Every structure is written in structure tokens, then in C-alpha cells.
Amino acid sequence: MDFGKPPSLWNYQMIKAIIVDDEPLAHQVILHHLESYSDIKVVSQHFSAKDALYQLAKSTIDVVFLDINMPELSGLELIQSFANPPQIIIVSAYEEYALAGYELNVTDYLLKPVSAQRLQQAINKVRERISQTPKSKTITLKVDREKRKLSLDTIEYIEAYGNYVKVHQEDQTILATTTLKQILEQLLGSFTQIHKSYIVNNSRVIAVTNEHVELDTGDKIKIGKSFKEHSKVLL
């Protein structure tokens, strides 16, 4: 059965996902099922929760397929470490963690082995939550000791600049008191970090190569080595 086309009651958007599980077979099962979904893009796979922390810190992820029992850092501990967690679908062989998972507001709790039908129900819950999330079209930043509201549509890209960021807009560049990590958390998936020093507006991207991202303004922004795979989902 093909689940690739999202139901019409949801606005179509690409959903960025990661898989976090210390069992390779669990990755294979989820990837196999997700082949049927045209709106799910697996950005990366991780075999430990600690490894996943880096990916989650540098980019905006919509949903995490997460195991519970893992060495060093458990799935539940990973969830508890988030200030603003993405949607979580727990994939576990153990029922006893279900209550703890739901207390942490996970989207769904799947028992291994995961069936295609059960995964479909979980994906529909993810889509529904996304459709119900209000999309902010502005961002408020501290500029020259005052708070200023900027329209997201006018922002081309954002550049790290010491303890500040440079916000490059269509007609000006603003210096704001914040960090790339802090600002990315506010952007709700509409911007993507492609370099340790750059975040780009997804809607302004017209071309992606191995070396840079080209914006509709003609600007070419360099892609960092550790961000190359993640940058491929921009188009």
C-alpha cells in the first residue's frame, strides 16, 4: 500500500526526521516503511542518543524515531534534555516505558517489531500536530538595546558574528544580540543551518551544490563539511 501522498486535510510540507536506535535492524525496518511516504525525509541516522544531540543542536528536526534502552544516554533522558523538543515517536521493545513517554508528551509509542499500519497511524499524528502548529511569520530580536520584530519573508540568511548575529534582509543588514542556536529554535523549520556560521531561509534557496547554497538574490552561501548531507533536503 502507498501512503506517500498526505491526506488533503493536511497542508503538504516535507517532514524532516532522524532515527535514533542502537540496533541496526530497527533502522532498516523504519527506513523500509518510510519508503512509502513522499513527505518524510530521513535527514540522518544515529546509533546513540549522545550522537543525535549534535544533529538536533545544529538543525531543525520535525520528528525523532527514538529507542529507549541505549547505552550512555537513554531515549527518555534525551527527551528530557530538550528545551523545545521536536515530535517524538518512541520505538521500543518494552511496554513499561509507555506511561513515562506520554508524560513527556511524545506523539506516539510503537512496539517492536513495527508494522506498516501502526507506523501509518503515528505518521498521521505527526502530520496532524504540524497542521495545528501556528506558524509565526515574524521573529523578535534584540537590536540596539530594543526589541524589534522582523518579517521572516524579508530575511535572506543569518550569519554568526561573535556574540551577535548578522541578519541579512532584502534592503539592510541588522546586528542582533543572540546566537545561531537560539535563533534557529524560534524559526520552526523555515530556516536551515548549512554551516557553523550560516542559517538560510529555505524559501529563498534556488540551487544547492556540494559547495554552496544559492539564494534568489544571487548570494552563494558556503556549506560546511558536516552540514552537506543536511543541506541536500533544501530542494
pLDDT in tens, 61-97: 899 999 999 999 999 999 998 877 899 999 999 999 9
pLDDT of 135 over the 90 cut: no
Identity of the residue numbered 142: K
pLDDT value of position 61: 87
Question: What is the predicted pLDDT for the residue at 4?
Answer: 55
pLDDT at 6: 52
What is the reported pLDDT for 10? 43
Looking at the predicted structure, is the pLDDT value of residue 106 above 90? yes
Please spell the DSSP secondary structure of 113-125, one letter per residue. SPPHHHHHHHHHH
Domains, in order of start, for the chain: 15-132 (3.40.50.2300), 138-234 (2.40.50.1020)
Q: Which residues pair with 103 in a beta bridge?
A: none
Tens of pLDDT, residues 143-182:
988 999 888 889 999 999 988 999 999 889 999 999 888 8
Residues 208-232: pLDDT tens digits? 999 999 999 999 999 999 888 777 7
Position 69 scores a pLDDT of 95
For residues 32 and 23, what is the distance between their CA atoms, to the nearest angstrom? 15
Q: What is the mean pLDDT of the chain?
A: 88
Confirm whether pTM is higher than 0.75.
no
Give the integer Cα–Cα distance in Å for 176 and 95: 47
Binned at pLDDT 50, 70 and 90, residue 132 comes out as confident
What pLDDT is attached to residue 136? Answer: 60
Q: Please provide the DSSP assignment of 10-62 as one string.
A: S---PEEEEEE-S-HHHHHHHHHHHTT-TTEEEEEEESSHHHHHHHHHHS--S
Quote the CA–CA distance of 122 and 108 in Å, as a whole number: 6
Kind and range of the H or E element at 224?
none
pLDDT in tens, 1-40: 455 555 443 444 689 999 999 999 999 999 999 999 989 9
> Residues 24-33: contacts with CB within 8 Å, 24+ apart?
26/67, 26/91, 26/112, 29/112, 29/113, 29/114, 30/65, 30/91, 30/114, 30/119, 33/114, 33/116, 33/119
pLDDT of 9 reads 38
Query: Which amino acid would we find at residue 62?
Result: D
